Chain A
Amino acid sequence: MLIKTERPSRRQVLRGVLNGAAVAVSLPLLNAFLDGNGTAMAETGKPLPMRFGTWFWGLGVDDNVFVPKTTGAGFDLPKQLEALAEVRQHVNLFTNFNIFNDGRPNLCHYSGWVALRCGSAPSTRQSKPGQSLDCAISDRIGSGSRFSTLNLAATGRPRDSLSFRDADSMNPAEISALELYQKVFGADFVNPNSASFTPDPKVMVRKSVLSSITEQSKALEQTLGAADRARLDQYYTSVRELENRLAMQLERPPAAPNCKVPGKAPADMPIGLDVERVAARHKAMVDLLVMALSCNQTKVFNVLYSDSGSSLTRNGQEKTHHGYTHEEAMDSALGYQPNASWFVGRAMESWAYLIKAMAETPEGDGSLLDHSLLYAHSDCNLAKTHSIAGIPMFTAGKLNGRVKTGLHIDGKAEAGTRLGYTLQRLFDVPLASWGTQSMETARELGEILV
C-alpha cells in the first residue's frame, strides 16, 4: 500500500443550540497525519478541509510541442506548456497513458473523457458506464460544506458538464459568473467571518418543510417500478443535501480567516464561444470559485474550459478550434498545426490561471492549492486523428502533503484509469479496484505519492 493515509473513520460533530434545540452538523475529521504536522487552522485548531477539483479542455494536444523531453522533476516546457511556467512546481504532468476500448468503438471526442471520468469506455454516445469520479469523492468529503459540488462551464452552455451520477442524471453546470455568485454568495450565504451570528428561525421552518415533503412522498414509491423508485431515491438524496445546507445555516460557521466575500455581483457576460470571451468567463468564474472554496462553501468542483469537440472560435476566423484540427495542414517545419495549437496554448493559460489563483490564496500554513488536488485532462491526444492513446492528464496541488508535485510521469502506455484510481484512493473512496476490462486497475501511481 503506497498511500500513507489514515482513512477518516471518525467524525467530529459540532454542536450548537437554536431556540433550545440541539443542532448537529457533521464534519469529516482529517487524519492524524495532518494534525500531527500542524496543518490545522491556527485560529480554531480545526483541521483543514481537503478539496478536489477537475478541469477539462477539449481537443487534446500535439505531442511534438506538448510532451517534455525529460521525465521526473524539472521537466522542460515545450511550446504548448509554456503557459505553465509559473506554476510548473505545482503540477504533475502525465503523458503516454492510454484509453482501451475493449472492442467498443472509439466515439470521437466522447470515449476518452468518459473513460477517464468513470473508468470504462462507453459503448454508445448515450452510455455512461458508471458515475463520474468527482461524485465518488464528493460522497467522501463533500459533507460539511454547503454544496456537495460546484460545476462550472466557461463555454456558458448548461449541457457542458462532465459530472454525472448516471447516464440520465447530470450535475448541471453553472454557466455564468453572475449565476454562480447568486448561488453561492446570494441571500442564503452566511459569512463565516461576520462578527455576529443570529440564526434565522425561518431556516428551521424551511428544513421542516423539506422533511415533511420527503415523508409525504414516501407513498409515491408504492406505485413505481424499480427504475423510477431509484430516481425518487435520487430526489430524496438531493433534498437531504438541501436540508443539510439549511442545518449549516443554523450554526455559526467555522471561521475561515481567508474568506474574502466578493463585494458585489459580477457583471453579466454575453454568450459566445470566442476564445477571449471564454477566457474572461473562465476567469470570472474561477475568481468566485476560489472565494467559495476559501469560504468553505464547497470542497469539490468541476470546471470545463472548452467542450470536448471544442467549438471555440478566434475572432474573425471561419474555422472553429475543431475545424482547424481537421482541416489545417501539419506544418512540416514546425511539426504541428499552428492555428489548432494556438487554441491549446490558450487553454493552458486558463489552466494555469486556476492553479495560480488557488496557489496565491493563503490558507492555514500554506495556500488553498496546498490543501487541494486538481485533476485535469482532455478528450483525446491528437484531435486530428481522434487518438485516445496518450491522452494528456495533469494533477495540481499537494493535498495536505500527500502528493508530490513538479513531476512528469511517463505512463508507458498503461491505462489512464491508474490516475483516477489513485485520486479516489487519496480521498479514501473505498475501492478495491477501478475501471473494467483493460481499464481496470488496483495500482496507484506511486511516483506521485509522498
Chain B
Amino acid sequence: MTLSHFTSFARKAALAAAGAALLLGSGLNTPWLAPATASAPRAAPPVAAPALPTMRLLTQSQYANTIADVFGPDIVAKVRFAPVNRTDGLLAIGAARAGLTPGVLDPLDATARSMARQILDPGHRALFLPCRPQAANQRDDACARAFLSGVGRRLYRRAMTEAELSAAVEMAGRAVAPTGDFYSGLAFSLGGMLVSPQFLFITETATRSLGAGEGMVLDGYSKASRLSFLLWDSAPDEELMRAAESGKLESQAELRRQVVRMLASPKYERGLRAFFSDYLDLEAFDTLSKDGEIYPAFSLKVAQEAREQILRTVTDHLMARKGDYRDLFTTRHTFMSSDLGAIYKVPVNRGSQGWEPYTFAPDDPRGGLLTLVGFLAQNSHPGRSSPTRRGRALREILLCQKVPDPPPNVDFSGFEEPSARLMPARQRLAAHSTVPTCRGCHALTDPMGLALENFDGAGQWRKTEHGMTIDASGSLSQVKFDDAVDLGRTVRDEPALRSCIVERLYGYSTGRSATAGDGPFLEYLVSDLDRRGYRFDDMLTSIILSKSFFAIASAGKVPVVASNSGKDGNSHADQN
C-alpha cells in the first residue's frame, strides 16, 4: 500500500514517531520555551527554508473580527465572502493565491459602504471621532485627518503613508460639497479604505534582520499581523501595533511577552476556532443538508449546531482543559444543544437556547471527535452514510494523506443493487476489496469508515442497517479495532495525526505549503512535541518563537525583500 502524495515530511515524521528514527528528536529541548535546566548538550533547532512574503486575502472571519475589534460590536460586517481554493488542505494557503474578481469585490464594496455609513451615523460617530468639525456642513481637514489616520492605521495594520492619508483627507473634503455633510464625506473616504487592497490583502514586507548574518525577516508590522491573525484571527491591537512600531518586536523577550499576552486574551478562542474551522473544513456546514424524509430531525439548525459542537469541544479541550490535541479523538466531554439532543437521543433541557456541557458515559458508543454528529454527517451522503467519505476525510484532513482519485473506468457491476434489496454498507462495499482497480485506494478509506457505520448519514446511532446487524470492526495501519470508540483510540496514537497537525498549523501560520526545506524544522517540532505533549499553546509558541516563523528568503533569492524603517510600512523598494 502506498499513499502516492504522502509528503516526505509526513512520511519521515511518521517513521520517526514509530521508532524508526527516534534519534531525530530524542533528548532535544526547546531553549526558547523552557528554562535551561537540562544538563545534556542541546542542538539548535533546525531552521526552515526562508520563503517569500505573502499577500493573503482576508478571510470572512478575519474581516468581521477586525471590524469588531476596531469599531466595536455595534458595527456589523454582514457579508459572505466568495470561496477560495482549499490548497494543501487549507483555505489559509489558498488565500495567499486567491484572485479578486468583480464578483468577489461586489459584496465587499457594498458592505464597506454600509459599514462606513453606520460608523459615521449620528448614533456612533462620537465614539470614533477624536474631534468635532468646526461646522458639520463644511470640510474640516484637520479633524478628518485625525479620524482617518487613526482608523487607517488599524485597518491597514501600519501607519498610513503621507500620500495615502492626504488622499483620504482630500477625498473626504471633496465629498462634503455634494453631500452637504462633513460626516458623509468621511463615510465616503472610509468606505474607500474598507475596500482598498491595503485593507483587504494582508501584504507582508521584509527587512534586514538586526542579527548579524541572519538574512531577511518580516518587518515589524508584518510580524504583528502574522502573529495577530494567527492567534486572534484579527488585526493587531494597539499594544501590538506599538510594539511593532517601536521595533520592540525584534526582541525575542518582547515577542514572547506578546505571545503570552495574546494567548491569555479572550480573543485567542477566535484564533483557535478559525484554525480548526479551516483545518477540519467546517465551511462545508454552510450548505450541508440531508434528505428531509430520511432524516427528518436533521435541519439547517442542526447542521449549524453540529459545527458549533465541534468547535466548542475543541476549544474546551484545548483551552479550558489544556488538553493534548491527540486526546480530542478519545475525549468524552462535549456540549449539547436541545436540537442536537434529538439527534443524539439524549435528554437536554428542551427550553434551553444555550449549550450544556455533556459527558458521554464510559459505555457510550460515542467518544471523541470522530463520533460527533458534525464529522459523521458532514462526511456522508444526503440520504445515507458513507464509509468511504468518512475514511477519506480521516486520511486527508486528519492524517494529511492523499487518497488517490478513483480511476474513471471502474467496472461497477459489482456494486449494482436492485433498489428493492438494499444492502448494508459493508456488503455493498465488499466489491471494493475484490475489484483490483478499487482495492488499493479503498483499503485506505473503507476499513476506518466502516467502523463508524453504527452512525447513519445524519450521525444518529443505529445497531442495524436494512435489518442486518452492523459489524463496525476495522483497522488502521495494521491496528485492528472493534468499534468507533476503538477507532478513536487508534487514531489518537497514529503517528501521522501528529505530523499532520504540525504541518497544517505551520502552513496556516505562514500562509504557504510546507516544502522539503521545512522538513527538518517540522520534524524537530514533532519530536519535541512528542516529548512534551501536543498542547496547543505549546504548538503555537514553538512555531512563533522559532527562527523560522518570520524568516524571509534573502534578496539574492527572491525579488521582493527590501529595507524598512520600522516606522513606515511603505518604505520598501523593489529590488527586482
Contacts and interface: CB of A to CB of B under 8 A. Distances in A.
A402 to B, nearest CB: 28
B164 A201 contact: no
B174 A205 contact: yes
Contacts of A339: 419
B87 A172 contact: no
Contacts of B559: 225-226
B409 A318 contact: no
B105 A238 contact: yes
Interface string A238-270: 110110000000000000000000000000001
Contact of A316 (B99, B294, B408, B428): B294
Interface string B342-383: 000000000000000000000000000000000000000111
A298 to B, nearest CB: 11
Nearest to A235: B100
Nearest to B299: A270
Contacts of B104: 170, 172, 238
Contacts of A165: 99, 101
Contacts of A158: 80, 82-83, 287
Contacts of A11: none
Contacts of A440: none
Contacts of A316: 291, 293-294
Interface string B254-294: 00000000000000000000000000000000010101111
Nearest to B572: A223
A46 interface: no
Contacts, number: 218
B167 interface: yes
Interface in B151-202: 161, 163-164, 167-168, 170-171, 174-175, 178-179, 188-189, 191-193, 195-198, 200-201
B158 to A, nearest CB: 12
Interface residues of A, number: 77
Contacts of B80: 158
Given A126-B87, A172-B83, A273-B382, A148 B102 contact: yes
Contact of A238 (B52, B101, B300): B101
Main secondary structure on B side of the interface with A: loop
Contacts of A273: 289, 382
Interface stretch (A60-68, A321-329, A364-372, A416-424): A321-329
A149 B178 contact: no
Interface in A130-179: 147-149, 151, 156-159, 165-172
A230 to B, nearest CB: 8
Contacts of B106: 183, 242
Contacts of A125: 405
Contact of B383 (A159, A183, A318, A387): A318
B167 A212 contact: yes
B97 interface: yes
A319 B423 CA distance: 12
Contacts of B74: none
B148 to A, nearest CB: 12
B397 to A, nearest CB: 16
Contacts of B100: 169, 231, 234-235, 238
A2 to B, nearest CB: 33
Contacts of A228: 55, 203
Interface string A183-220: 10000000000000000011011101110110111011
A222 interface: yes
Interface stretch (B28-36, B127-135, B410-418): B410-418
Nearest to A234: B99
Contact of A213 (B196, B293, B408): B196
Interface in B429-474: none
A215 B196 CA distance: 10
Contacts of A171: 101-103
Contact of A315 (B103, B293, B573): B293
Contacts of B412: 326-327, 384-385
6 contacts: A201-B178, A205-B178, A231-B201, A316-B294, A318-B384, A387-B408
Interface of B: 52, 55, 80, 82-85, 87, 94, 97-106, 109, 113, 161, 163-164, 167-168, 170-171, 174-175, 178-179, 188-189, 191-193, 195-198, 200-201, 203, 205, 287, 289, 291-294, 300, 381-384, 405-406, 408-410, 412-413, 415-419, 422, 428, 558-560, 562, 570, 572-574, 576
Cβ-closest 7 pairs across A and B: A169-B99, A172-B82, A386-B408, A316-B293, A209-B192, A201-B178, A106-B408
